[in-house]
Chain A
Amino acid sequence: MRGADRKRAEVLRMMLDPVRPDVPADIVRRATERGARLLRRRRAARRVIWTLLIVALIMFGVWASAAHPWSVPPTETTPPLEDW
């Protein structure tokens, strides 16, 4: 296991060896701007979904209060006449 650790350390040194890449000065600003855009878009999408959901609920409520879908429709056939 020692050998494996040593080999890994050697490879890690190879990885760290070259100069670190320069971080462009504006990279954080660009990331922030893009992140803000992403956030705005997500919020807008969430708003649209909620709005649609609420509109659908209201429409259902209006329709239900007008149509009373829970009340049993009046029977269309006359019940048979018995014991007359």
Chain B
Amino acid sequence: MDRRRAREFEAFAAGAAGRLLHAAVLLTGEPPDATPRAQRLLIAALSRTYAEWDRLSGADGEDPYDRARRELVLRFAREAAWRDPVRRGGRAAGVLGGLGPQERIVLVLRLYEGLAEEQTAALIGLTEERVRVVCARAVAAMREPSRRRRTRPGPSGLREAGP
């Protein structure tokens, strides 16, 4: 029983780890060659999935990938709420570095993971309207001032500057 669970889980995790780690790195904004925080999030999410594997692999269980992704995103959101209620200015890096945690979450779920507005809203506990607004704002922020940000590093008030 335990061995079968481990085998099934390892097959799943080997396939999902790459995509989940990429999503985690987009969330944490770490450089691709040094991703300790994203790895920690991934391990936590995957281990939780392992612990619930028997329920997940049942007929009416949640999809294991969805479960792991939900755990990853919610864990990141929880940490973000604790660590940077005000965005940590200089430390934010990576592609989505100029955005706040919530905007990063919405972009990762809507664009990278391709979730519908409704599912995104349900996952992070926002209204669909709010998801739409945050997504539009984040997309606008990514397209416009991000290019300028590259030339002028430092804690620029991307979020605050936008309309």
Contacts and interface: CB of A to CB of B under 8 A. Distances in A.
A32 B48 contact: no
B14 A38 contact: no
B95 A17 contact: yes
A1 B86 CA distance: 33
Given A11-B143, A28-B17, A35-B51, A20 B32 contact: yes
Contacts, number: 97
Interface of B: 2, 6, 9-10, 13-14, 17-18, 21-22, 25-26, 32-33, 35, 38-39, 42-44, 46-51, 53, 94-96, 107-108, 110-112, 136, 138-140, 142-143, 146
The 5 residue pairs across chains A and B that have the minimum distance between CB atoms: A35-B50, A31-B46, A35-B47, A34-B47, A38-B51
Contacts of B49: 35
Interface of A: 4, 7-8, 10-12, 14-24, 27-28, 30-39, 42
User: At the interface, is chain B mostly helix, strand, loop or mixed?
Assistant: helix
Contacts of A32: 6, 9-10, 13, 47, 50
Contacts of A23: 17-18, 21
B111 A15 contact: yes
Given A15-B95, A28-B13, A32-B10, A38 B47 contact: yes
Nearest to B142: A11
Contact of A8 (B17, B51, B96, B139): B139
Nearest to B146: A14
**A15, A21, A22 — most chain B CB neighbours (10 Å):** A21
Nearest to A16: B112
A31 B10 CA distance: 9
